[in-house]
Amino acid sequence: MGSMSKMGAVWRSAGSSVAGRLFLDRQAEFWMGEVDPVRSLRELRARVLEVIEETRDTKTFLLRPNGAWRGHRAGQYTSVEAEIDGVRMRRCYSISSAPSEALVSITVKHVADGRVSTWLHENLRAGHVLGLGAPAGEFVLPSPTPDKLLLLSGGSGITPVMSMLRDLAVRDAIENVVFVHHARSHADVIFGEELAELAARHAGLRLVLCLDDDASSPRGFDEVYFAKLVPDFAERSTFLCGPKPLMDRAERLFESVGASDRLALERFTPALRLLPTLSFLDGVQVRLGRSERNVVAKGQGSLLEQLERAGERPAHGCRIGICHTCKCRKQSGTVQNLVTGEVSSEPDQEIQLCISIPRSDLELDL
Amino acid sequence: MNTQSKHLTREEADAFGRELDALRQETVADLGERDVAHIREVIRTANRSEAAGRALLHFGLGPVSFVLGTSALGLSKILENMEIGHNIMHGQYDWTRDPALDSQRYEWDNVCTGDDWRHSHNYEHHTFTNILGKDRDIGYGFLRVAPEQEWKPIHLTQPIIATFLALFFQWGVGGHDLRIDEFFSGKQTPAELAKRSRPFLTKAAWQLFKDYAFFPALALGNAPRVFLGNLLANGTRNLWTFAVIFCGHFPEGVQVYEQAETENESRGQWYVRQLNGSANIEGNRLLHVLTGHLSHQIEHHLFPDIPAARYPEMAPRVREICARYGQSYNTGSFRRQLRSVIGRIVRLSLPGPKAEAKSMSSAPEEAAAANFAAAGRAAA
């Protein structure tokens, strides 16, 4: 094991040199992939061992990651990379398994117009290989575990809090946990059976399901009903994840009783501020991640010209979109390609600065 | 075939450019799995060919395995430099977001560093194609390949110099971005040259070590055989790439431009210059792949970042557009283009001929008509 990590360190230092790029990035990587597609010197990949149908629109993928996986904390997410018609696309999904489990699982709800979730549901089978990202996110169970916990979720937002509950169960630490989950119907409750089993086995777990088709309770999240269900919610360390209306209302409720500091939440879709077509001339905020600077890009011309006016000196060449020297990774935000008119609003897309104009605030890997 | 292109007004050039842009859009929208499958297949073939070649050289005995091993190794180097390295470094596969196909990270099996290449080739040569004084690829600064270049006595030696360049082509390519000529003319200080040379020397040292020390040493008793095999494989690749690249820009009929006439050039005019500054080689699919599709130099210069394997299917459309705008489309067999290049290098080693005063506008109608007729025949 020690010699393996030493070898890894030698490889990493060689990796930046010409020889490393030639021999390791190209040839060693190629032959490792030929032997077994899940193996890689550079990339985090995983093999799918099993696909489990959870509900009519949700599947769990049980994954065995390669040696680059360093484990996760309960509540974190990973990015999943799928190659769809030749293009690699990434999406973030919460990890639903507990950190101590040998296999990693992600649970994915099929979104009707979502390219990646559709592809995962329709094409991904046992034996296939997927790209993964390093686990990330601050939505995690604190250590030591708080005395009184509330896990509050809706729909597929159950995945990160399920990881927390499973973690507590494995550590036999379910002392005083209330789990309130919202779903359309009984059949739509992801992990329904396992939740019922855990509740039967652990006296410290109180499970409440709020179902839309249940006539005796209100539809969706209801403040009054919720306060009756969990009268001491303001005293509980609360972990919230679910659809936006649920999260917004729950957040306001916690604010109104002064319990915001006990509420942790995970939003699946970051609020994107797309500007109206013309007002981008007034300027957008650009976060340059690598140099840790914030600048305002404004005025006429391409994003490259705007950045230059803001005092930045990004690498560039032809300035007409042919040489790809100014290519950089856009971590978030929307830009439009001046040549093709194509709009890029997905996270982690490569863009060419010299033929892009910003359409929203941006985060760039510069 | 060598009819002059009709001179286009800015408006005509822009209309011409819009048609090429539309073709470009159409191709980009269609990129997908088959393009990725193609380049991965070529990468697989190159890697397997290298492994087979090295195995035959290392463990084989006798001349048959030597010839086979050297050929397989040479083939892998040609595929890697041309269809894989050159094209990936152009950003033709950046849309896939596969790090193995990333233009800015790729490093090829050649003494030229990827970074130098990306600067001197992708940026300078492809942006300023065939502009005298700006495109340093016109004769690489020491060969006279166009009559517009001023003749100097040193050009008398150029048939011999070109032969040496062909044999050691990767070193010419590798040293190109060091701008040694600027050092001699005083435009570059020794310190600048030293700084610029360091990545090249590191890369060259690694390449020499790999092919002429590491692999021969690994072969123990077979070391001389491996050494010689590597030398011949590198030499074969050099000759081949030299021939392909010289046929792309230096055959008869290719135009060069003065800086003044390209100032404030529009996107359409840039397209016109790319077309008239390049020449194609006709052949089958194998030839196209072995040249990295630089046999479609015209399409490559119009669309440098579109996967090169798409050029053969774009070519008839490009040709049809050119015909409608009275633009000559320079193409011919490998033998014809190579003979034309060699003839030119020999002829231009002597002074003259006087550069014609841009005969582009001479009898444009006849030229266009002839070209249109030729395209019609080709289509039929």
CA angle A278, A282, A284 (to 5 degrees): 100
A323 touches chain B (CB under 8 A): yes
Looking at chain A, which residues constitute the CATH 3.40.50.80 domain(s)?
154-266
Handedness of CA A280, A283, A285, A288 (dihedral sign): positive
* β pairing state of A45-55 and A58-65: antiparallel
Structure confidence at residue B97 (pLDDT):
85
Model pLDDT for residues B265-302, shown as the tens digit of each residue: 999 999 999 999 999 999 999 999 999 999 999 999 99
d(CA A207, CA A200): 10
Structure confidence at residue A11 (pLDDT):
46
Would you say residue B186 has pLDDT above 90? no
Would you say residue B131 has pLDDT above 80? yes
To which H or E segment does residue A58 belong?
strand A58-65
Confidence of residue A215 (pLDDT cuts 50, 70, 90): confident
Long-range contacts of residues B189-192, Cβ cutoff 8 Å, at least 24 apart:
none
Q: What integer is the mean pLDDT of B10-25?
A: 96
Structure confidence at residue A286 (pLDDT):
93
The alpha helices in chain B, defined as continuous H runs, are: 10-30, 33-59, 62-79, 87-89, 114-117, 126-127, 158-167, 169-176, 180-184, 190-209, 215-218, 223-249, 267-276, 285-290, 297-302, 311-324, 334-347, 364-379
Would you say residue B5 has pLDDT above 50? yes
Would you say residue B359 has pLDDT above 60? no
Q: Contact A87/B127, CB-based, under 8 Å? A: no
> Least CB-CB distance to B126: which of A25, A42, A323?
A323
Least confident stretch, A310-314, B284-288, B327-331:
A310-314
Would you say residue A2 has pLDDT above 60? no
**Residues A304, A314 contacting (CB under 8 angstroms):** yes
Q: Contact A86/B31, CB-based, under 8 Å? A: yes
Would you say residue B310 has pLDDT above 60? yes
In one-letter notation, the amino acid at residue B347 is R
Q: What integer is the mean pLDDT of A147-154?
A: 96
A43 touches chain B (CB under 8 A): yes
Least confident stretch, A275-284, B25-34, B237-246:
A275-284
Q: What integer is the mean pLDDT of B128-147?
A: 91
Average pLDDT, chain B: 90
* B188 or A339: which leads in pLDDT: B188
| Residue A158 to chain B, least CA–CA distance (Å) | 31
d(CA B52, CA B350): 47
Cis peptide before B251 (omega within 30 of 0): no
> Least CB-CB distance to A323: which of B96, B99, B122?
B122
Q: What percent of chain B has pLDDT over 90?
A: 81
Least confident stretch, B150-164, B229-243, B289-303, B341-355:
B341-355
d(CA A61, CA A47): 10
Model pLDDT for residues B195-225, shown as the tens digit of each residue: 989 999 999 999 999 999 999 999 999 999 9
Q: What integer is the mean pLDDT of A199-203?
A: 96
Would you say residue A7 has pLDDT above 70? no
To which H or E segment does residue A91 belong?
strand A87-94
Chain B residues closer than 8 Å to A323 by CB: 91, 118, 122-123, 126-127, 304
Q: What percent of chain A has pLDDT over 90?
A: 63
* Closest CA in chain A for residue B23: A340
Q: Contact B305/A339, CB-based, under 8 Å? A: no
Would you say residue B365 has pLDDT above 80? no
Would you say residue A275 has pLDDT above 70? no
What does CATH list as the number for A36-132?
A: 2.40.30.10
| Residue B127 to chain A, least CA–CA distance (Å) | 6
Name the most confidently modeled range: A319-333, B191-205, B306-320. Answer: B306-320
Q: Contact A87/B32, CB-based, under 8 Å? A: yes
d(CA B303, CA B321): 15
Q: Residue B98's closest CA among B263, B307, B246?
A: B307
Model pLDDT for residues A23-62, shown as the tens digit of each residue: 888 899 999 999 999 999 888 999 999 999 999 999 999 9
Structure confidence at residue A348 (pLDDT):
85
Exposed / middle / buried, residue B341 (Cβ in 10 Å: 0-12, 13-18, 19+) = buried
A315 touches chain B (CB under 8 A): no
Model pLDDT for residues B231-262, shown as the tens digit of each residue: 999 999 999 999 999 999 999 999 999 999 89
Structure confidence at residue A269 (pLDDT):
56
Give, as one character, the DSSP assignment of residue B82: I
Average pLDDT, chain A: 88
Handedness of CA A164, A168, A173, A176 (dihedral sign): positive
Would you say residue B27 has pLDDT above 60? yes
Count of positions (residues) in chain A: 366
Looking at chain A, which residues constitute the CATH 3.10.20.30 domain(s)?
279-364
Sheet holding A263-266, edge to edge: A205-211, A177-183, A149-154, A237-241, A263-266
Would you say residue A270 has pLDDT above 80? no
Structure confidence at residue A20 (pLDDT):
80
d(CA A62, CA B71): 46
Q: What integer is the mean pLDDT of B323-347?
A: 95
Structure confidence at residue A266 (pLDDT):
87
**Residues B145, B174 contacting (CB under 8 angstroms):** no
Q: Contact B123/A317, CB-based, under 8 Å? A: yes
**Residues B278, B298 contacting (CB under 8 angstroms):** yes
Chain A residues closer than 8 Å to B90 by CB: 324
> Least CB-CB distance to B122: which of A27, A320, A324?
A324
Would you say residue A8 has pLDDT above 60? no
Chain A residues closer than 8 Å to B305 by CB: 322, 324
Structure confidence at residue A267 (pLDDT):
79
d(CA A36, CA A55): 32
Q: Contact A327/B118, CB-based, under 8 Å? A: no
Strand partners for A205? A177
Looking at chain A, which residues constitute the CATH 2.40.30.10 domain(s)?
36-132
Give, as one character, the DSSP assignment of residue A143: S
Structure confidence at residue A341 (pLDDT):
78
What does CATH list as the number for A154-266?
A: 3.40.50.80
Q: What integer is the mean pLDDT of B70-94?
A: 97
The alpha helices in A86-211, defined as continuous H runs, are: 115-123, 158-170, 192-201
Strand partners for A238? A150, A263
Give A279-364's CATH code, choosing from 3.40.50.2300, 3.30.70.20, 3.10.20.30, 3.90.1170.50. Answer: 3.10.20.30
